[in-house]
Structure 1
């Protein structure tokens, strides 16, 4: 068990079963994850702030809300716009907050946050995030309790960029057991219609090379084994990384991190299990309505493929 400080606040290290993870005080972010010294995610340096939401927890909504506007309890709310190029409110409110330590052992850390009512989100949530290493990998659970009086709209997702290995993303083999994907507008990536993956460029139900395919879409109608959906990326040689998530997440956003001309272009594959669809505060697709006193939990696990 080790702690140290960095640009993202106190850093909490946990280890076990060959895994090593570092979680940050600011944002309760997963900054590093390794297995036997092999990086499983795209990290960022201890002396720099979070980059491109790497390892963030996105809550109380994942993805984006169009124009930052939605209606709840017969009131129209306006959130701050933090994605001005698309005029959207992106990835919630907690990724920049300073979380407090609840507990820290050699193989587990729990951080908490009192998310107070704010402009555009006048609801009061008590949140906890627990990271633990087990034989199965690094497991994460996020719990939110509505400690206010009004019913609160809610959703959550993680935002890791998975890394299959040292080869390029184009050569990685993706297994994505989804029957449908959400078509989006070209300019703002806002939801249009659901479409079958069959005969589309996004059909990875049978594992295949990502190649030059550019993906920044949400997928649903996921095949599951005992309630769990699993997404895998592998190097051509076979090793890689998997992400498994429970039935609380009925959607998953996949993003090939396309940044042409940048050193960060297609470095890793963002895999974001989501409890609701993009812009769910407006569509209500999968949106959780947390009544006063109610709680919600979601969980996922990242594991090495050897």
Structure 2
């Protein structure tokens, strides 16, 4: 008897429509490949490869970090595993390595679901369902989370794609992000410190309300107070000198976005160094599970028993 096994990234679901091609890996409900007319819009990885750097993963029940892996909710203290041990942080939630099951699919759309089971650091059962859908304006991902526990649960979500603007190096790309505020973080652990106007705190680095080339700027920061377009969407655009690019658009359910220029500690010796730019719309700020520590609205969702919340974002070619 011959056993068949799926690739290490899980079952591969391919989608096609309107010149777009996407591949979704079941582990982490991960966006593994996204192309338009043959051009990569995100940094891809192979189906039979362990996903590097959380590329394309669905993040839940929190995006970004829980500082020290410790938080208090409803009067009780919880400790989660430190999945970023070099910084002693709990990174990107609990769903990124779950194998999501198929709910439905068509040629251009797939819906996958997994359940976060109660555990010592997060004693709530939350069903996470996500739909990827291709259309003429790109790939839209929608995440729906339902609290299947008997009491309220803290929650947040977001994606983790690494964008590729075009063939030029990242230093030559231009970034446009209409955000008025940036979250200062500690340089060693990236723990939140305070919120600043983008034009008051290193404006040459953080103020991207007018599109400017990145140069050697390094970013691994969360932005908020984002201006919306006529459709009520926040839109980030990154473009290549050749005239092509990628945009990410999202609704008011994600008041924050993390932007990371992919810098590695060992620099250009690492083949992943500045290979793409991670753009992560988030329903909440970094360390939102410790929202009471901060003097700004961290956006923590308190998900009541039996309630479903949703959030969506779109990646499209320029």
Give the TM interval when normalised to the shorter protein: over 0.9
> Which position in structure 1 is the counterpart of 2:295?
none
Distance, in Å, in 2 between the alignment partners of 1:291 and 1:62 is: 19
**TM-score, scaled to structure 1:** 0.97
Which range is displaced more, 110-119 or 93-102? Answer: 110-119
**Are 1:217 and 2:221 counterparts?**
yes
1:286 to 299, 304, 310: 299
Q: Deviations over 1:206-239 (max 9, x none)?
A: 0010000000000000000132000000001221
Query: What is the rounded CA distance, in whole Å, between the counterparts of 2:242 and 2:228 in structure 1?
Result: 26
Which is strand-richer, 1 or 2?
1
**CA–CA distance in structure 1, aligned partners of residues 128 and 65 of structure 2:** 20
Match of 2:99? 98
Q: C-alpha displacement at 1:9, in angstroms?
A: 1.1
Aligned twin of 1:50 = 51
Alignment of 1:233-252 (within 5 A): 233-252=238-257
C-alpha distance in structure 1 between counterparts of 2:181 and 2:233, whole Å:
17
Kindly report the root-mean-square deviation, in angstroms, between the aligned alpha carbons of the 2 structures.
1.0
Distance 2:140 2:81 in 1: 31
Q: Distance in 1 between matches of 2:190 and 2:127?
A: 31
How many residue pairs were aligned? 302
1:275 aligns to 2:283 (yes or no): yes
User: 1:166 is paired with a residue of what secondary structure?
Assistant: coil
SS in structure 2 at match of 1:221? strand
Structure 1 gap ranges (5+) = none
Structure 2, unaligned stretches of length 5 or more?
293-297
Mapped contact 2:64–2:91 kept (Cα < 8 A): yes
1:227 equivalent among 222, 232, 244: 232
- TM-score, reference length from structure 2: 0.93
Q: Following TM superposition, by how much is the alpha carbon of 1:5 offset from its aligned partner in structure 2, in angstroms? A: 3.6
1: CA distance between counterparts of 2:106 and 2:309?
24
Partner of 1:75: 76
Is 1:262 equivalent to 2:275 in the alignment? no
Q: What CA deviation, in whole Å up to 9, does each residue of 1:109-165 have, x standing for no partner? A: 000112111120000111101000011110000000001111000000100000001
